[in-house]
C-alpha cells in the first residue's frame, strides 16, 4: 500500500472540494426552481427508478440513509403531495410501510431531473473527456467501491 503523502492528501481535498462546490450549485438551483433539497430529489429519483414505490427499509438501503433522517425527508415530501405512505405488512414486519410516488411527484421528479442533468453537464461533465471519465471512474472504484 502506498504511503499517505502530500499529493494524496491534496488529491483527496480536491475531490472533496469539487464535490461540495458542484453539490452546492446544483442544490441551490434545485431549491430555487423546485423547492427541493438534493436529498429529497434523490429520494424521488430512487422511487422513479423502482416503479414509483419502495418500502422504507429499501429506501434506507438505496439512499444509505439513517431511518430517522429519511423519515423527516419523507414527511416533507408527503406534506407537498409528492409521495404517500401506504401500509405494506410483510411476514417479518407488520408495521412495514411503502413509500409511493404520486402522479404530482412523478411530474416534479421528471422536471427536476431535467434540471439536475443539465446542471451536472454544465458544472461537472462538460470539461471531462471520455478518457478523463474512464480514469476517474477506475480510480474512484479502487478507493470506494460503490453499490448500485
Can you list the domains of the chain with their CATH numbers?
Answer: 6-132 (1.10.10.10)
pLDDT in tens, 62-79: 999 998 999 999 999 999
Query: In which region does residue 3 sit, left (phi positive, over 0), alpha (psi from -120 to 50) or beta (all else)?
Result: beta
Query: What local confidence, expressed as pLDDT, does residue 92 receive?
Result: 76
Over its C-alpha atoms, the chain yields an Rg (Å, rounded) of: 18
Higher pLDDT, 84 or 145: 84
Contact 108, 116 (CB under 8 A): no
**Judging by DSSP bridges, how do beta strands 97-101 and 53-55 pair with one another?**
antiparallel
Contact 8, 2 (CB under 8 A): yes
Query: What local confidence, expressed as pLDDT, does residue 93 receive?
Result: 75
Query: What local confidence, expressed as pLDDT, does residue 145 receive?
Result: 63
pLDDT in tens, 83-138: 999 988 777 777 889 999 999 999 999 999 999 999 999 999 999 999 999 999 89
pLDDT in tens, 18-59: 999 999 999 999 999 999 999 999 999 999 999 999 999 999
Q: Would you say residue 147 has pLDDT above 60? A: no
pLDDT in tens, 4-22: 899 989 999 999 999 999 9
pLDDT band per the 50, 70, 90 thresholds, residue 146: low
Amino acid at each position: 500500500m502506498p504511503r499517505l503523502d502530500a499529493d494524496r492528501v491534496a488529491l483527496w481535498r480536491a475531490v472533496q472540494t469539487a464535490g461540495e462546490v458542484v453539490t452546492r450549485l446544483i442544490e441551490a438551483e434545485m431549491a430555487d426552481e423546485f423547492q427541493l433539497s438534493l436529498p429529497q430529489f434523490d429520494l424521488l429519483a430512487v422511487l422513479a427508478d423502482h416503479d414509483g414505490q419502495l418500502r422504507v427499509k429499501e429506501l434506507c438501503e438505496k439512499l444509505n440513509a439513517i431511518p430517522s433522517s429519511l423519515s423527516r425527508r419523507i414527511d416533507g415530501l408527503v406534506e407537498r403531495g409528492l409521495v404517500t405512505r401506504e401500509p405494506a405488512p410483510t411476514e417479518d414486519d407488520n408495521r412495514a410501510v411503502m413509500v409511493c410516488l404520486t402522479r404530482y411527484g412523478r411530474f416534479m421528479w421528471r422536471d427536476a431531473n431535467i434540471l439536475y442533468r443539465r446542471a451536472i453537464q454544465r458544472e461537472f461533465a462538460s470539461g471531462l473527456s471520455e478518457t478523463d471519465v474512464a480514469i476517474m471512474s477506475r480510480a474512484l472504484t479502487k478507493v470506494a467501491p460503490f453499490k448500485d
